[in-house]
Amino acid sequence: MLIITIALVGFSYTYISSISTGETATTFFVVDSFQDTVTISNDGTAVISDIRATLDGSSVAIAVVPNIDGLVGYWSFNEVNCPPTGDCITDDNSRNNNIGTLNGGLDSTGWTTGRFGNGLQFDGNNNYVDIGSSTIFDTSGGITLSAWVNINQNGNNDDQFFWKSDTFQFRRDGSNRLNLRTVDGSSFGSEDTTSAADLMTVGRWHHVAAIYDTARTRIIYLDGVQVAQEINT
């Protein structure tokens, strides 16, 4: 864990000191200290696994993304971005500018405490974030999907994590199972992989992930553990 102290001096942030525990590097840099953002880089070889900061006297966790190169999209939902007119939006931190638009009545009141910083709370009915239909979302070469989720009840029908019309669907179904559906030719849902039921705990943060590759292998993970796999031939 790295403990880094940064002070706001005038209109910029100034690096003060750091404490390194179990890491090879002790030198850190503040990059882009303007625009209300602080980026910290590590010049060592060890992986930064956890960073915490003190904001207004309270300790807050900071999401660590060691390498976002190659990501098609990365939506942290950390910002509250609602212009005076028009829909609320959420930035794509992958640098691909796939900005998401909040829909289905989801507005500034949807932002709440997330796994890291802020997050979005969905009503399980018609709330969703539309990330557009860019060609960058082509899944013919396979796809990996992941998210941090915190469910507030069991028994909901189709809590969608990711969905692309007639292409793929990653969800928690009405039987409290993780489910990945993909398309075989023109038949959506013909390739369907489902985990055991009741693996997720209400009120607890879980990391869910799903992989679909060109060999038509579908794998589902929960908190880093494989919970389902199927191969279509």
Is residue 141 very low, low, confident or very high in pLDDT (cuts 50, 70, 90)?
A: confident
**Which comes out higher in pLDDT, residue 51 or 106?**
106
CA distances from 113 to 62, 71, 78, 88, 107 (A): 13, 24, 9, 17, 15
Q: What does pLDDT average to over the chain?
A: 75
- Range in 7-11, 146-150, 192-196 with the lowest mean pLDDT: 7-11
Within this chain, do residues 14 and 86 fall inside the same structural domain, yes or no? no
C-alpha to C-alpha distance for 2 and 13, rounded to whole angstroms: 18
> What is the model's pLDDT at position 190?
66
Q: How far is CA 10 from CA 13, 36, 71, in A?
A: 8, 12, 35
pLDDT tens, position by position, 95-134: 788 889 999 888 888 888 888 778 899 887 789 999 988 8
Q: Are residues 166 and 78 in the same domain?
A: no
Q: What is the arithmetic mean of pLDDT over 70-76?
A: 87
Regarding whether 149 and 74 lie in a shared domain, the answer is: no
Predicted confidence at residue 12, as pLDDT, reads 44
**Torsion angles phi and psi, residue 149, rounded to 5:** -135, 150
pLDDT at residue 5 greater than cutoff 90: no
Give the containing element (helix H, strand E) for 220.
Answer: strand 217-222
Per the structure, the complete domain to which residue 105 belongs is given by 70-136
Residue 87: predicted pLDDT? 82
Residue where a domain stops, chosen among 36, 62, 88 = 62
Q: pLDDT at position 195, please?
A: 93
More confidently predicted of 84 and 6 = 84
Tell me: do 145 and 219 sit in the same domain: yes
Residues 79 and 35 in one domain: no
